[in-house]
């Protein structure tokens, strides 16, 4: 049985930060407590051990945990990895390969955060969308609505929409290094971090033509191979999005293991290894909740919580 933990960023929440706090998974203090708990109570395995288990049909310990980080934010190197090394815990880092060494490129959600939180405007208008942003809370609510709206759009239209919103808010060009660069990634690989493909530009793969999705998938693996050398046939779906067509591409391209955002544990004897489940860690994951979510009971509790949230959202919708 394998539990796979999902992290994005380890940082302190700060509304004045140029990066969206939506992807903060834990504060450094909380992450240190979580790492210590894992080191004392679970068998934290490397990606190489998982792949070896699949290849040779070797069963992992029933208390196995795989630690994964998405997006290769700089704070993985500065905050998370030193804590993991202190506890001798392996980790896998999924890299959107168009961003290292290109600080002029920014993730669209970070660009929107800066644009909405810093603009002097009080109304943001887009096609079929109008948002009042007269207070910090209205700005945060507006950002959540924008995220939902953008993720439902075809990828090319979505990125054009982001450009228009940012321009209308008076976005100024900025060079802000937020992603680990290639030399640092090579250093992390030498220190034992497993690097995996996460597309090139982090699109929602199901929201773009299949040939372009294939180029994103194949290209990210090629970039890693060119920059790092030999890399594992592993992948992580941006925003967890995949469908049958994407799964066929994954098989065609020779990937053996891919991670989704679907919640739960994985029985490697029966699981589809191209859509493994994960446990997403957020700032609301106190140590007590963290311990619960690593248990079988936690899976059912989390499923109940998600159903309750969907029901509440449906009831409150006009």
pLDDT band for position 313 (50/70/90)? very low
**pLDDT, tens digit (0-9, with 9 covering 90-100), for 139-192:** 899 999 999 999 999 999 999 999 999 998 988 877 889 999 999 999 999 999
Nearest-angstrom CA–CA distance, 29 and 32: 5
Residue with tokens 């290094």: 177
Would you say residue 311 has pLDDT above 70? no
CB 90 within 8 A of CB 196: no
Decide if pLDDT at 200 tops 50: yes
Count CB-CB contacts under 10 A for residue 5.
22
Q: What is the separation of C-alpha 270 from the centre of its chain, rounded to a whole number of angstroms? A: 25
* DSSP 8-state secondary structure symbol assigned to residue 220: H
Task: Tell me the pLDDT band of 16, cut-offs 50, 70 and 90.
Answer: confident
Range(s) within the chain of domains with CATH label 3.20.20.370? 2-100+179-316
* CA 301/CA 114 separation, integer angstroms: 35
For residue range 255-306, what is the model confidence (pLDDT) as tens digits?
999 999 999 999 998 999 999 999 999 999 999 999 999 997 656 555 555 4
Q: What are phi and psi of 66, to 5 degrees?
A: -110, 125
pLDDT of residue 43 exceeding 50: yes
Sorted by sequence, the CB contacts under 8 Å of residue 85 that are 6+ apart come out as 191
- Give pLDDT tens digits for 227-247: 999 999 999 999 999 999 999
Classify the C-alpha dihedral 117-119-122-126 as positive or negative. negative
Q: Give SS3 for 250.
A: helix
pTM (2 d.p.): 0.91
Q: What are the structure tokens assigned to 279, written together? A: 């446990």
Q: Which H helix or E strand runs over 4?
A: strand 2-7
Q: Do 241 and 198 touch, CB atoms closer than 8 A?
A: no
Q: Which tens digit of pLDDT belongs to each residue from 53-111?
A: 998 888 899 999 999 999 999 999 999 999 999 999 999 999 999 999 999 999 999 99
Q: Pick 2-100+179-316's CATH classification: 3.40.190.290, 3.20.20.370, 3.40.50.300, 2.40.420.20.
A: 3.20.20.370
């Amino acid at each position: 049985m394998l539990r796979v933990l999902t992290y994005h960023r380890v940082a302190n929440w700060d509304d004045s930060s140029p990066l969206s706090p939506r992807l903060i998974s834990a504060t450094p203090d909380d992450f240190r407590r979580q790492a210590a708990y894992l080191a004392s109570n679970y068998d934290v395995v490397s990606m190489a051990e998982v792949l070896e288990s699949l290849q040779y049909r070797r069963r992992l310990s029933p208390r196995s945990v795989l630690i994964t980080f998405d997006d290769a934010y700089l704070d993985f190197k500065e905050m998370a990895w030193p804590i993991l090394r202190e506890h001798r815990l392996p980790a896998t880092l999924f890299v959107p390969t168009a961003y290292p060494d290109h600080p002029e490129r920014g993730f669209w959600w970070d660009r929107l955060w800066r644009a909405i939180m810093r603009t002097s405007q009080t109304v943001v208008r887009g096609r079929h969308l109008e948002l009042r942003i007269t207070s910090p809370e209205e700005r945060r609510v507006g950002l959540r609505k924008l995220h939902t709206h953008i993720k439902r759009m075809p990828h090319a239209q979505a990125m054009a929409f982001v450009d228009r919103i940012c321009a209308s808010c008076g976005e100024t060009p900025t060079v802000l290094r937020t992603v680990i660069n290639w030399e640092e990634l090579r250093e992390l690989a030498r220190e034992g971090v497993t690097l995996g493909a996460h597309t090139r530009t982090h699109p929602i793969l199901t929201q773009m033509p299949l040939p372009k999705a294939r180029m994103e998938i194949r290209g990210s693996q090629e970039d890693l191979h060119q920059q790092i050398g030999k890399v594992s046939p592993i992948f992580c779906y941006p925003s967890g999005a995949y469908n049958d067509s994407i799964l066929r591409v994954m098989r065609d391209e020779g990937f053996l293991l891919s991670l989704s955002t679907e919640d739960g544990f994985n029985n490697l004897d029966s699981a589809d290894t191209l859509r493994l489940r994960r446990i997403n860690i957020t700032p609301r994951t106190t140590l007590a909740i963290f311990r619960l979510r690593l248990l079988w009971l936690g899976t059912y509790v989390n499923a109940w919580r998600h159903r309750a949230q969907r029901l509440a959202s449906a009831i409150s919708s006009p």
